[in-house]
Amino acid sequence: MTGFGRGQAQGAGYTVQADLRSVNHRFLEVRVRGLSELPALAQRCEEILRGAFSRGTLELTVRWELAGEVRPRRLNLPAAKRLFEELETLRAELGLLEDTGLSHLIQLGAFQELPPEEEALWPLLEDALKQAMRGSSLLERRRARS
């Protein structure tokens, strides 16, 4: 029961890719990677895999991106204020003439990427996951042995 499958889906402005790797193992172990900022989606993926397989080590790696667009960002105001104050302190201590500006805050990460809405991403992720499961032939071999 060793295998690999890949699925990909596009829509709602996103592209989602799911890679599923499996190694024969006596017990069922499931790992989901790439969804740390979307834990509810990681949980849904794990539930689907646990429902489809009874044994083996399964590793699902998910990649998602906005299709041809830049991810939306938001200003982390407390971090921006802290960074600004630190830069001003540094500027004064070093005797620099350049004023601290927005470009400095942007370079230092005061604007953070926003994760996608989970409900917008889920149909695509579910489709990509099911493709990966079919593509790996793992599900068919599991059913044949049952």
Q: Where are the alpha helices (DSSP H) in the chain?
A: 39-52, 77-94, 102-107, 118-135, 138-145
For residues 64 and 46, membership in a common domain is answered with yes
**Look-up: residue for tokens 């620099």?**
96
Q: What is the CATH number of the domain that holds 138?
A: 3.30.230
| Residue span of the structural domain in which 132 resides | 3-70+116-145
For residue range 13-35, list pLDDT tens digits in order. 889 999 999 998 899 999 999 99
pTM: 0.68
Tally the domains of the chain. 2
Is 129 a residue whose pLDDT tops 90? yes
